[in-house]
């Protein structure tokens, strides 16, 4: 065990040499100490995307080769200085962890929480957890070919521009891209998901040979899936700068729109070895603070749809 200074606290890291991401000749090996150091280094860039948002933790106590589990409830043994959010669910409530500071981020890394999945609403916003301030489109390709993802992102970006909605790109660290739209938090999840569905339907109607909104894989063929299902109460999306549970420790990384033209871009372009360098370029440049109402965009969308 060793101790790590994280902000105003000192956090214990157990078994820091434990390998969480085994090397295989193509992917580099990373230990728990590497994961902790990455999350400590990226904290100032990552925390603004986490604060106030209930989390679901993807934990791999024995690394990629062992079992994983998804954790919503905070545990009895977790430190009392970790903030909590009790949110309603059918038949009761769930007490989610919140990540408000670097110490919590380091503690979660020590617990082998490789990937942090966040709510699209904040408990501290005007509408609370019932009203999201983020809308997410998940561009999910049928294969590992990234070119269809790049093309779909351009098409969706152009449509959002036409609707006069700001948008931001993020690699997922897996296979595709997320496009994030900042909202003002005045619409409930049903409104937001219906709007996202209509945007996706508008795009797939225009490009039925390339895009689909079919939830069942067997109905997609080789078309890219425009997934809007995350825009619902209690659903989550991977947080910006979170590590993904894949060989080489790839990172879900915000990018600027002009980086979409980089021939070297791919969904796993950045890892814990270099994602902080990308973060320092401020690729979203304050964009997500400009949350918009959906009313004007809805009227423009309805006009486009006739």
**pLDDT tens digits along 232-256:** 999 999 999 999 999 999 999 999 9
Residues 121 and 138: their CA atoms lie apart, in Å, by 17
**DSSP classification of residue 251:** B
For residue 175, which of 117, 228, 224 has the smallest C-alpha distance? 224
Q: Encode pLDDT of 43-97 as tens digits.
A: 999 999 999 999 999 999 999 989 999 999 999 899 999 999 999 998 899 999 9
3-state secondary structure of 46: helix
Q: Encode pLDDT of 149-202 as tens digits.
A: 999 999 999 999 999 999 999 999 999 999 999 999 999 999 999 999 999 999
Cα 82 to Cα 9, 37, 79, 103, 172: the distances in Å are 12, 19, 6, 9, 27
Q: Are 16 and 2 in contact (CB under 8 A)?
A: yes
Determine the distance from the C-alpha atom of residue 29 to the mean position of all C-alpha atoms in its chain, rounded to a whole number: 24
Helix segments in 73-226, DSSP class H: 102-110, 147-162, 189-206
């Amino acid at each position: 065990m060793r101790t790590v200074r994280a902000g105003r606290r000192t956090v214990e890291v157990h078994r820091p040499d434990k390998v969480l991401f085994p090397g295989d000749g193509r992917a580099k090996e990373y230990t728990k100490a590497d994961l902790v150091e990455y999350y400590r280094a990226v904290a100032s860039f990552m925390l603004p995307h986490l604060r106030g948002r209930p989390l679901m933790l993807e934990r791999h106590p024995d690394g990629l080769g062992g079992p994983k589990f998804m954790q919503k409830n905070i545990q009895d043994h977790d430190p009392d200085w970790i903030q909590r959010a009790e949110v309603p669910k059918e038949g009761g409530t769930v007490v989610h962890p919140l990540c408000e500071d670097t110490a919590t981020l380091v503690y979660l890394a020590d617990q082998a929480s490789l990937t942090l999945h966040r709510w699209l609403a904040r408990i501290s916003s005007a509408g609370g957890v019932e009203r999201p301030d983020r809308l997410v489109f998940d561009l999910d390709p049928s294969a590992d070919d990234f070119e269809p993802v790049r093309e779909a992102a351009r098409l969706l970006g152009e449509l959002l521009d036409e609707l006069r909605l700001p948008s931001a790109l993020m690699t997922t660290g897996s296979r595709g891209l997320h496009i994030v739209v900042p909202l003002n938090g005045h619409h409930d999840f049903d409104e937001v998901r219906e709007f996202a569905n209509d945007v996706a339907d508008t795009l797939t109607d225009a490009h039925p040979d390339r895009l689909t909104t079919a939830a069942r894989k067997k109905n997609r063929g080789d078309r890219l899936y425009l997934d809007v299902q995350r825009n619902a109460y209690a659903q989550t999306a991977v947080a910006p700068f979170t590590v993904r549970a894949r060989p080489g420790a790839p990172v879900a990384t915000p990018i600027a729109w002009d980086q979409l033209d980089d021939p070297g871009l791919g969904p796993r372009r950045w890892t814990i070895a270099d994602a902080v360098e990308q973060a320092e370029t401020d690729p979203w440049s304050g964009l997500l603070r400009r949350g918009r109402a959906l009313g004007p965009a809805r009227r423009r969308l309805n006009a486009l749809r006739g």
